[in-house]
């Protein structure tokens, strides 16, 4: 049963929900968020407005 479900999990689990996917860790998403906000901080001196937004989908 687990092997049959494994074939369907890639369709059911979002790419960003990778904490339970073999070979990936929840820390991957934390590192991605850190890099994104670090990039936004570097761009503060530009004329363009950039925004980083964190949403909690359970509360939305």
Structure tokens of 55? 């949403």
CB 43 within 8 A of CB 49: no
* pLDDT, position 47: 67
Closest of 39, 35, 34, 58 to residue 50, by C-alpha: 39
Spatial separation of the C-alpha atoms in residues 13 and 51, rounded to whole Å = 27
Residue 8 has pLDDT above 80, yes or no: no
The vertex-43 CA angle with 26 and 41, nearest 5°, equals 45
Higher-confidence position of 38 and 24 = 38
* pLDDT, position 60: 53
* pLDDT, position 19: 61
Rounded mean pLDDT, 31-41: 81
> Mind listing the pLDDT tens digit for each residue in 46-60?
667 677 777 766 665
């Amino acid at each position: 049963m687990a092997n049959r479900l494994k074939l369907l999990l890639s369709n059911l689990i979002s790419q960003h929900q990778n904490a339970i996917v073999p070979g990936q860790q929840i820390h991957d998403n934390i590192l991605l968020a850190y890099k994104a906000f670090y990039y936004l901080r570097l761009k503060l001196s530009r004329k363009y407005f950039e925004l980083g937004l964190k949403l909690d989908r359970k509360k939305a």
